[in-house]
Structure 1
């Protein structure tokens, strides 16, 4: 999401690349920026992005639809948006342009780790990322 595949032809050869999706990349960046504030639940963010026009690409089998909470959580963990690719467990600099800067990605990670494990809370309880991150586990042995 936020990128498109392209095929260029040069001297009779196909050169495949990944390019920024001019329509969707700004919304992906906005998703990271809004979530980094800690004021949005994943569900709120999914609604906000849907209102702004971020939908999945239609396929032959499925029509375009609103981006799901789980897809947003997955996107927040994906370092591809920083310009990296992973191949056989190793991370490499990609040839594609990054959509997100390191600082925003790191800020999202402080909220995304607990929220991604607690998507049911995010959907049903309306807890924001800040409130989830601030919940401390109970002390064992206390009553």
Structure 2
């Protein structure tokens, strides 16, 4: 499998899978992979060898097919969510502050989700516009 460490979506899925299983990085560490390497994979800080990357996937119960399936599903979710967040931004730009705020309250993301920064930005925009 091609090494996709620079793909934030794959890093997100790896971390989410680990957390969904109730595992900490040190729970996956062993003689073949350290918790530091797992951290680096999740943060995309270094490129690891394909065999190390695949070893981590196997420890998480993911193979190439399952990972690709999760990536496809998450991409579809992100496309839908991005459209929704763009609509909320438009509401904020056009003065529909309370409607935008109600929509923002309905969206809950992991802090490490690829769209979490955009969501936080929109919440900040609401607060800023509300004070004007």
Query: TM-score normalized by structure 1?
Result: 0.28
Pick the structure with more helix per residue.
2
Pick the structure with more strand per residue.
1
Query: TM-score normalized by structure 2?
Result: 0.29
